[in-house]
Amino acid sequence: MLQVNKVEAGYGKLKILRGVTMTVPQGEIVTLLGGNGTGKSTMLKAVSGLIPVMSGNIIFDGVDISTMKPHERMRLGLVQVTQSKEAYPAMTVEENLMLGAYTRSDRASIAADLEKVYGFFPVLKERRKQLSATLSGGEVQMLVIGRGLMAGPKMLMLDEPSAAIAPKVVLEIFSNINKIAKSGVTILVVEQNVRMALILANYGYIIRDGVIMMEGKADSLISDPAVKESFLGGSVADTSKKLQSG
Amino acid sequence: MGFDFNSLLAFIIFGITIGVVYGIVALGISLIYSGLDIVHFAHGEMYMFGAFFGLVLVHDAGFPYPIALVGAMVLTALLGMFVERVFYRRLTRAGGGYTVAGMGMIICGFGMSVALVNVAYFIWGAEAEPFRANLDYIPRLEFGDGIQVPESYVLTAIISVVLMLALNYFLRYTKIGLAVRAVAHNKEIAYLMGINVPLMISLIFGLACARAAAAGVLIGPMQSVQVEMGYLMLMKAFAAAVVGGFGSLPGAIVGGIMVGIFENLGAAYISPSHKDIYAFLLLILVLSIRPSGLFGIEAKVKA
Ligand SMILES: Nc1ncnc2c1ncn2[C@@H]1O[C@H](COP(=O)(O)OP(=O)(O)OP(=O)(O)O)[C@@H](O)[C@H]1O
Ligand SMILES: [Mg+2]
């Protein structure tokens, strides 16, 4: 579905991604993991077109999208939800969701998708007439995912859906991401919550300083000693030992 | 000699009519600000060009006034979109607001203002031209004890209100209006919704400049048309926008009306020779009570 070949990208002259190659197969959940400032969001922006690709190319659904504008890529069914979790605060929940369907004109299928989103996130239905400024952090995350779904995506890219959200709500959101994938939407999810992401995903990439450092099937990554050491923080006993000595 | 309520009423009515014109120019400035995060210093020149386009369409091309009004709005919208696309876009692409590029944008706006005045000077000369429009079919209004409101004022009030309502309807209830609001709030996310952001930016500029042109054609028959008329209008419209709360659309209208009334009352009861400073007195007064302007809170939640 998505193929990223030796992509270099960044901001102005500053190069952040230094030749990233990734594949996201149709119908699967792939996760991109890494610490703060390693280039995860930059990667999603390069794919969605918010920043230009300096070299390499990006193939989506058989089309080379490397030089397309963001709204053109989106119209092909490639939808990104940004890390900033921004809903339009002065619009109601439902207006926000309808904005996601901005490019579509078939009312019947828009209405059907709206019901689908409300099925995934019932709390949004309860709050549909409320201004989105009044939502909690978890609800806003559900809203922006829902808004992405309203675009009728073939592939949805999520940027840290678990950030700054209570563990219980994270579980709810992740189980919905799983359901969304089951409904036929391919998913690329960027995460720092490595354990949760690897449980959710089929395949994982680990990025550091703009290059892919490691990749593999999710269940093999989760038991990999190197991953355990650097991302899962070892066992509880290890961590407390580090705290004492550090 | 008692206090003459009749003339007070007249001053207020004239204040409101001129105020709604400040309001629609301020509306354009606010629209550009909330949409693009730039303060457009050449907006007064859009007003001036609009007035000249209207004048040429009526005097030289012989069109009836209403057609000239629409024609001037369209021509000025095109001029504004051209200026934005060719000159401003390079700078705004680097980021507006309070960044270094934002500062460049302000200077660029001033430069554009001077350049446009000179272009107009080259075409139309420095003479003030009277704008003769045939408005006989518009009724004069009479209030109370024989206060007469001339045709051009009646027309101005009606058209301004129609333009405001049309903009409000467009932004609230149409799909493209929704897209404009989305672009105003956050361009990245608007892009990701599939909205053609550069096109919406042109549209915002066009709408704002068309409104300034309408103001020019409306004011034309009351005063006269002259290449330097933009400066004073810009100042008044700025005062209106700031009084109302910068970036707030309803604020722009309310601010405009307040400036219009305040200025007329000042001219009538304090001193007519300082008419143009009252707008700023009001500005200082309002800002000292509410530093973010009357509708300043809403301005923070843009669009
Ligand atoms: N708009 C920008 N202009 C310049 N540099 C940027 C910009 N955005 C990010 N960077 C830089 O690019 C690098 C990678 O940032 P990126 O946002 O991709 O990190 P990330 O992996 O998403 O981190 P996090 O998990 O904290 O979100 C960082 O060093 C950051 O400072
Ligand atoms: Mg990030």
What six digits make up the tokens of A122?
């019932």
Interior CA angle at A96 toward A94 and A102, to 5°?
105
Residues B71-88: what's their mean pLDDT? 94
- Given a cut of 60, is residue B140 above it in pLDDT? yes
Tell me which of A203-217, B14-28, B120-134, B204-218 is least confident: B120-134
Tens-digit pLDDT profile for residues A56-114: 999 999 999 999 999 999 999 999 998 887 788 878 899 899 989 988 888 899 999 99
Report the half-sphere exposure of B113 (CA within 13 A, side-chain side). 21
Q: Do B54 and B68 meet the contact criterion of CB atoms below 8 Å apart?
A: yes
Outline where chain A has alpha helix (H): 40-48, 70-75, 93-100, 107-120, 122-126, 137-150, 167-182, 194-200, 218-222, 225-230, 236-245
Higher-pLDDT residue of B79, B157: B79
User: Is A68 a domain residue?
Assistant: yes
Phi, psi dihedrals of residue B128, rounded to the nearest 5°: -80, 130
User: Is A87 a domain residue?
Assistant: no
Q: Do B31 and B237 meet the contact criterion of CB atoms below 8 Å apart?
A: no
Query: Which residues is A23 bridged to in the sheet?
Result: A3
- What chain B holds in terms of domains, given with CATH numbers, is 9-127+147-289 (1.10.3470)
pLDDT category of residue B96 using cuts at 50, 70 and 90? very low
Say what the pLDDT of residue A236 is.
54
Q: How far apart are CA B157 and CA B155, in angstroms?
A: 5
Q: Please name the residue of chain A whose CA is at the shortest distance from the CA of residue B195.
A: A71
Query: Which residues is B141 bridged to in the sheet?
Result: B149
Q: Please name the residue of chain A whose CA is at the shortest distance from the CA of residue B176.
A: A102
Ligand 1 atom 29, closest CA: A37
Q: How far apart are CA B13 and CA A32, in angstroms?
A: 65
Higher-pLDDT residue of A238, A169: A169
- Given a cut of 90, is residue B216 above it in pLDDT? yes
- Given a cut of 50, is residue B223 above it in pLDDT? yes
Residues B235-255: what's their mean pLDDT? 88
> Residue A13's domain spans which residues?
2-82+154-245
- Given a cut of 50, is residue A3 above it in pLDDT? yes
**How deeply is B161 buried, as exposed, middle or buried, from its count of CB atoms within 10 A (0-12, 13-18, 19+)?**
middle
Å from CA of A170 to ligand 2 middle: 17
Å from CA of A137 to ligand 1 middle: 22
User: Is A98 a domain residue?
Assistant: no
CATH number, residue A159? 3.40.50.300
Residues A211-221: what's their mean pLDDT? 90
Å from CA of A193 to ligand 2 middle: 12
Contact: A74, B185; criterion CB under 8 Å: no
- Given a cut of 70, is residue B2 above it in pLDDT? no
Say what the pLDDT of residue B97 is.
46
- Given a cut of 60, is residue B12 above it in pLDDT? yes
Q: How far apart are CA A57 and CA A65, in angstroms?
A: 8
Q: How far apart are CA A200 and CA A189, in angstroms?
A: 10
User: Is A221 a domain residue?
Assistant: yes
Helix (H) / strand (E) element for A18: namely: strand A14-24
Say what the pLDDT of residue A156 is.
96
Q: Do B28 and B42 meet the contact criterion of CB atoms below 8 Å apart?
A: no
User: Is A117 a domain residue?
Assistant: no
Say what the pLDDT of residue A167 is.
85
Residues B111-120: what's their mean pLDDT? 93
Q: How far apart are CA B5 and CA A239, in angstroms?
A: 82
User: Is A140 a domain residue?
Assistant: no
- Given a cut of 80, is residue A245 above it in pLDDT? no
The minimum-distance atom of ligand 1 relative to the CA of A40 is 21
What percent of chain B is modeled with pLDDT above 90? 39
Residue type, A138: G
Listed ranges A34-38, A222-226, B267-271; the one with the highest mean pLDDT: A34-38
Residues A195-205: what's their mean pLDDT? 92
Say what the pLDDT of residue A103 is.
87
Residues B93-98: what's their mean pLDDT? 52
Say what the pLDDT of residue B299 is.
40
Say what the pLDDT of residue B82 is.
95
Mean of pLDDT over chain B = 85
Q: Do A34 and A206 meet the contact criterion of CB atoms below 8 Å apart?
A: yes
Q: Name the domain count of chain A.
A: 1
Say what the pLDDT of residue A132 is.
86
ipTM: 0.80
- Given a cut of 60, is residue B204 above it in pLDDT? yes
Residue B86: DSSP 8-state: I
Say what the pLDDT of residue B302 is.
44
Pocket of ligand 1 (CB under 6 A): A 11, 14, 16, 34, 36-42, 83, 192
Say what the pLDDT of residue B221 is.
85
User: Is A59 a domain residue?
Assistant: yes
Residues B241-260: what's their mean pLDDT? 88
CA B276, distance to chain mean position in Å, is 17
User: Is A124 a domain residue?
Assistant: no
Say what the pLDDT of residue B300 is.
42
Q: Please name the residue of chain A whose CA is at the shortest distance from the CA of residue B175.
A: A102
Residues B13-17: what's their mean pLDDT? 89
What percent of chain B is modeled with pLDDT above 70? 92
- Given a cut of 70, is residue A214 above it in pLDDT? yes
Say what the pLDDT of residue B207 is.
94
